[in-house]
Structure 1
Amino acid sequence: MNKYTGWTRAELVELADRSLLALRPWATPGHARFDLPGAAGQSGPIVDGLEAFARSFLAVGFRLSAADSDPHDHASWYAHGLIAGTDRAGAAERGGGADRTGRAELGARAERWPSLVDTPQARVEAAAIAIGLHESRRWIWDALPSSAQERIVEWLAGSVGAWYPESNWQWFHNVTHAFLRSVGGPHDQAKVDEYLEYLDSCYLDEGWYTDGRGGNVDWYAGFVMQLFSLWYCRMSGDHERQLRYAARLKAYVASAADLFGADGAPLYQGRSLVYRHAVVGALWTAAVFDASPLPPGRLRRTCLGAIKYFVDRGAYDEHGLLSQGWHDRFEPMRQSYSGPGSPYWASLGLAGLVLPESHPVWTEPEEPAPIDVGDHVHAIRPIGWIVSGTASDGIVRVTNHRAETPDGENQLYSRFAYSTVTAPVPLPSGAADQAVDNQVAVIDTHGRWSQRPHIKLQVINTHRAESQHVATFAKPSEPGPTLTCVSLVRGAVEVRAVRVEPGGSCVALVVSGYAVPRRPAPGARVGLVSGVTALTGGGRTGHSVHLLASPFGAELEVPWCRFDSPAADQWYVVAVCLGGSTPTWPIFDADQAKVCWPDGSVDEL
């Protein structure tokens, strides 16, 4: 029944209950905040406490939606928090004490939540509360006195007229207004419609969105753009729009479901990765809205596999709290907006609990993912990725030929490749003889290494992609030569060919591979082989070791190949691998510009 994960719906319910109960010792007296240990986010500890409440309340909504009992009384606990958080008088008179971190007890101040008018981050948390209220309506909202309902509506109504940036945040506005409309509260349908139009403009194709028009692509395509769009329809009864969004979600799941390794690990790429199993929220949503292209058992295998991956590797700390990190705590993953409650967006990964025990996603036997039974290579055309999974090692890799990072190289978006078992070196570019991972970079006469903030996709098919980028130098910022890059991918090997276009000059061209820690962290893959070899003459290979750490370990070793004084209009070709063993390398026929693979197949460059 559960050959791959060993988990059922019961294990997911138990995880939800256990994680919610672990938060209670950190609650303020009225339950309106959880003041968790750890460094505050940029909005301050009061907002951090609201964030922990709101995002965990989202889990409560999913947990209670299809439940026939509430043995841990989540409904009553969170109802008290909703009342305290929206109490006009506040709770200063209720006193305090000292919190678990030794700081002055924040609960001694008013527990009333910051207003949406004055606090932008509260607009995000309001959306989580809105969905939580919608899903737990018969447990919480319907049982609240009218005075409490009025105060909650008043707080949520701060969204009316508030500014939301041109990004996934506009979905937070829209689901908040969908709930307000459903309970007869104030809402701005004209602004909702304006935001719906903008969010549609962020849609690329084949299910993928950018986070903002022309922006980057990452897991937010599922975190918010897919999940929240369908939940907006669920809350507003917009059935016509739901059909359109469901079709997009179906296409998204068809490709996103292949971005998980055989061990359940999601692709490590993009920002906000401390949200961990939030990455499967959109997959569950496909089952909720009958929009899954996958058999129910296959979808459950992928979703529960990802959740179990994190649970088994210490995502929940000694207090049962979600930490800042990937496996266990890894503070360098914190971003400026991340507070101790931020990781509880992982609640999105519990969305499948709205499906009752009788749903096929829970009753059908688990089915294997493609990587469980064989190798697969395919392109996700709108976002310029080639995805390669290999059954022998269970690793998924992505070759990246599209990005827009206007402020310079961003290791989470601009690298040439990503995987489910490695993370990029946390540096923008190489220096001296120290190459960072997965770059195609030129070095100028000043010793500066180029970056690739803008990658323009040219052509992509099943296993071949071509792009161009202007090699950009920082400090001071100035453009260098244009580089044309071609990738040919088969199995664990990528052939990476580079041509320096006329009009620019450089001292050297460097092509690097994946960063593998010499000292793997607990739970990380061991025995990884990362290699680069030259397929055209004149290439010198070597390794750089960065005395830095990633969530996968420390002392990050990067293989590279260097070509000195590269000529214009000439192909420089290397092969890059990441896997469990050293592969048999392909051969490049320079006269015919063809790659000859060990299995006898041939690709034209």
Structure 2
Amino acid sequence: MTPVENRELSPYTGWTRQHWASTADGLLHAVQRYRSPSGARFDLPGPVSANGSRSDGLEGFARTFLLQGFRVVGEQGRDPTGLLERYAEGLAAGTDPTSPERWPRPDELGQAKVEAASIALILRITRRWLWDELDDRVRQRVVDWLSTVVGQPYPPINWVWFRVVVESFLREVGGPWSAADIEEDLAVHASLRRGDGWYSDGQERAFDHYVGWALHLYPMLWTHWFDVVGSLCPVGTYRTWTADLARYLDDLVHLVGSDGSPLLQGRSLIYRFAAAAPFWVGAVTGHGGLSPGLVRRACSGVLRHFADRGVPDSDGLLNPGWHGSWPGMRQAYSGAGSPYWASKGMLGLALPAHHPVWNAVEEPLPSESSDHARAVSAPGWLVSHRRADGVAIVLNHGTDHAGTGERRSDSALYARIGYSTATVPPLTGATVDDPVDNTVAIVDGVGDATHRTGFERLYVREADDEVLTAASRGRACWIDTQEDETADHGYGRRGAVVEGPVLTVASVLRAGVEVRLVRVDGAGWDARVPGCFVRMGGWPVASDSEPTARGGTSRTRVSFESSELRSLVFGIRGFTGGGLASEFGTSPLGAWTAVPWLATDDVPVGEVLAGGVLLDRGGVPPVDPTVLAIPDGEGGHEVTVAWPDGVSTTVELPGTP
């Protein structure tokens, strides 16, 4: 039975701990029909990952084991699902080398390194009720299986935490472990720190949800649930991490829409409400800096966002997709068991019913209580939301999952200029290779668009009058990725490169309206190539009906309105035409995706172009700023954006070195 809403305790979502528990228990019971005979695998229906079905079955076990463990801890050892014994049987079979259900070992298969960490974490926090009750032979087999991580190579990304967690558990139960491994992994983690609470998932500019659900989650749970502070973890490092988490959550809470949607950006989005995990980490450890009522509002908002939109599905399962099943969101490593990393987003169930986070009155999210704008330096983002529509947007001048000067195609998940809680770039179809939405590109005579990955970040700033500014530049390139057969992990792809001109792009953001500035510098490129022009794309809006553009009184004002959203672009300087790009079946949010765009007649080298870009829920007349560009004598420009109410903002578009 669905629990009764409590609008006094939870005025925004109505949800209480009972709703969370009911959701978790439903997920756990639904997967049982896919349990293998001895319980070591959950062979769920759906696509098989590049790692194979044995790996996917292990994922199904380990990731639902996370959720089972949180339930047991939150009930202080009581097993509300009655399934703990079944997971114990699965541990026995999976680690038995003679069992037909034996798991691939971490030294045999990389993905097993990931799942080993979930198993070790839950064995640690449920030790009194599970590990200590296991047969000695089973405990030894588990130790033998886990200990194959010792000395193994791990990629220098969030994966280093999987080894830290496993070896820390082995240390506590008398198994083999390596202090050198943990020291090496902590050094990698330190190298990923980028300031203001942000981490990059690797040395590239890789900012996404892994910052929260991995690079904050594991360090904080490690220091909270393992006996490591002052021994394996220096006290100063621990204090740094706690401060980092609070600073990160102060930004992250502005990236949840008033409808509970997380930001649709970065890989592994099929983990859905795992986006709630970092908020729960703050509550579990007491170091998040957010009030209990705001934490629960954010987390219940995220979970209910999906629950109200068909998640889990009619069979009670999590499938690869967003609101419903949408396999186009998968990466190569995603199998049918992968979506259950969403269990991380239910970490709050490890907190008992009397905890303040379950008993404080919900407080409003920033996106539903205020108009706000902030520059987030580490990822190079301008963040904005307005109370009127509750959509959080990001303008991106620092993230592309690459390094400066690299030549890759633009990943739809990382390299767009804009991301939001209500839109997603087309993830399949023609515009993946020839992007339109939230881009500035040179389009050649056959319609192929350039890419921006490898750009240089110039600045990310907060100006006066609640205006944000950011700029980036890089050599535009046409990239033919047809020969790239590497596994799709959501990043840009390599291929033959044809270099174009240098594009400098700046965003001036005020009250949700972006003035996008563009200059083309043609040194080393023949700007007279016939048929080329500059195209600037707006926000991608999903619709269940075929899109039709709406224009204004000129050819350079193009908008598209769905039943919920409006995407508008309007020319301010240098653009001479526009149109609407639409594709069918390229988005998990709707049958169609529409992107309004502006274009020039040719490639006006050295001139400053300007266009307005807006995403909202309609009903508010957009402002019409003017733009004045003055050459600085060094190949650059000083550009002033004059807003209709008399406010003006001046930014620089520096010349190309």
Please report the TM-score for the alignment, with normalisation by the length of structure 1.
0.93
The yes-or-no answer on 1:511 pairing with 2:536 is yes
SS of residue in 1 equivalent to 2:455: strand
Q: Mark the runs of 5 or more structure 1 residues left unpaired by the alignment.
A: 91-109
**8 Å contact from structure 2 (residues 71, 80) kept in 1:** no
CA distance in structure 2 between the aligned counterparts of 1:312 and 1:547, rounded to whole angstroms: 24
The question of 1:442 aligning with 2:442 is answered yes
Alignment of 1:384 with 2:422, yes or no, is: no
CA-CA distance at 1:366 after TM superposition: 0.6
2:82 maps to which of 64, 73, 80: 73
The structure-2 alpha-carbon separation of the partners of 1:431 and 1:80, relative to structure 1 and needing over 3 Å to count, comes to closer
Judge conservation of contact 1:51–1:341 (CA < 8 Å) in 2. Answer: yes
Indicate yes or no: 2:378 matched with 1:373.
no
Q: Is the 8 A contact 1:457 1:466 kept in 2?
A: yes
Aligned twin of 2:14: 6
> Residue in 2 aligned with 1:480?
500
2:204 aligned residue (214, 225, 240): 214
User: The residue matched to 1:326 in structure 2 has which SS?
Assistant: coil
Distance 2:141 2:621 in 1: 64
Q: 1:111 aligns with which of 101, 108, 113?
A: 101
1:345-395 deviation digits (Å, cap 9, x = unpaired): 001101112222222211111111111112111111111001111111111
Letter of the aligned partner of 1:588 in structure 2?
T
* Equivalent of 1:152 in 142, 155, 159: 142
CA distance in 2, matches of 1:215, 1:208: 11
Residue type of the alignment partner of 2:627: D
- In 2 relative to 1, CA 233–43 (structure 1 residues): closer, same or farther, beyond 3 Å? same
Q: Tell whether 2:582 aligns with 1:545.
A: yes
Alpha-carbon separation, structure 1, partners of 2:59 and 2:348: 22
| Preserved CA contact (<8 Å) 1:178 1:235 | no
Q: Which digits, 9 at most, give the CA deviation of each residue in 1:132-170, with x for residues without a partner?
A: 111222221121122211111111111112221121111
Of 137, 150, 154, the residue aligned with 1:164 is 154
Residue 64 of structure 2 is matched in structure 1 by 56
Query: Which sits farther off after the overlay, 398-407 or 372-381?
Result: 398-407
> Which amino acid in structure 2 is aligned with residue 26 of structure 1?
Y
CA distance in 2, matches of 1:36, 1:591: 59
Contact 2:436/2:536 (8 A) holds in 1 = no
Partner of residue 16, structure 1: 24
* 1:23-422 equivalent positions in 2, closer than 5 A: 23-68=31-76, 69-90=78-99, 110-239=100-229, 240=235, 241-402=237-398, 403-405=400-402, 406=406, 407-422=408-423
**How far apart, in 2, do the equivalents of 1:435 and 1:57 lie?**
40
Q: CA deviation at 1:600?
A: 3.6
Q: Which residue number in structure 2 is paired with residue 97 of structure 1?
A: none
**Aligned residue identity for 2:460:** I
Q: In 2, distance between residues paired with 1:518 and 1:133? A: 46
CA distance in 2, matches of 1:158, 1:398: 42
Aligned residue pair count: 583
Amino acid at match of 1:420: T
| Counterpart contact for 1:206–1:382, Cα < 8 Å | yes
2:575·2:611 contact (CA, 8 Å) conserved in 1?
Answer: no
The residue type equivalent to 1:262 in the other structure is S
Counterpart in 1 of 2:633? none
| Residue among 606, 615, 624 paired with 1:586 | 624
Residue 469 of structure 1 is matched in structure 2 by 474
Once residues 89 and 448 of structure 2 are traced to their aligned partners in structure 1, the CA distance between those partners, rounded to angstroms, is: 58
2 CA distance for matches of 1:219 and 1:7? 24
CA deviations over 1:160-188 (Å, ceiling 9, x no partner): 12221121111111111111111111111
Structure 1 residues 471 and 329: alpha-carbon distance in aligned structure 2, compared to 1, 3 A threshold: same
Distance 1:600 1:143 in 2: 72
Deviation at 1:525, TM superposition (A): 7.8
Note closer, same or farther for the CA distance 1:492–1:520 as it changes in structure 2 (3 Å cut): farther
SS in 1 for 2:649: strand
Structure 1 equivalent of residue 551 of structure 2: none
On the 8 A contact 1:530/1:579 being kept in 2, the answer is yes
SS at match of 2:255: coil
Deviates more, 1:420-429 or 1:257-266: 420-429
SS state at 1:383 partner = coil
> 1:373/1:472 Cα in 2 relative to 1: closer, same or farther (>3 Å)?
same
Superposition pairs of residues 545-584 of structure 1, within 5 angstroms = 545-581=582-618, 583-584=621-622
Which one-letter code corresponds to 2:112 in the other structure?
A
Cα deviation for residue 288 of structure 1 reads 1.4
Which of 481, 485, 490 is equivalent to 2:510? 490
What is the CA–CA distance in structure 1 between the aligned matches of 2:368 and 2:85, rounded to whole Å? 43
Q: Percent identity between the aligned chains?
A: 38
- Distance in 1, matches of 2:445 and 2:64, equals 53
In structure 1, what is the Cα distance between the partners aligned to 2:197 and 2:429?
30
Matched with 1:105 is none
Query: Which residue among 568, 572, 577 is the counterpart of 1:531?
Result: 568
Task: Give the TM-score, by structure 2 length.
Answer: 0.85
- Kept in 2, the 8 Å contact 1:134–1:179? The answer is yes
Distance of 1:318 and 1:457 partners within structure 2: 45
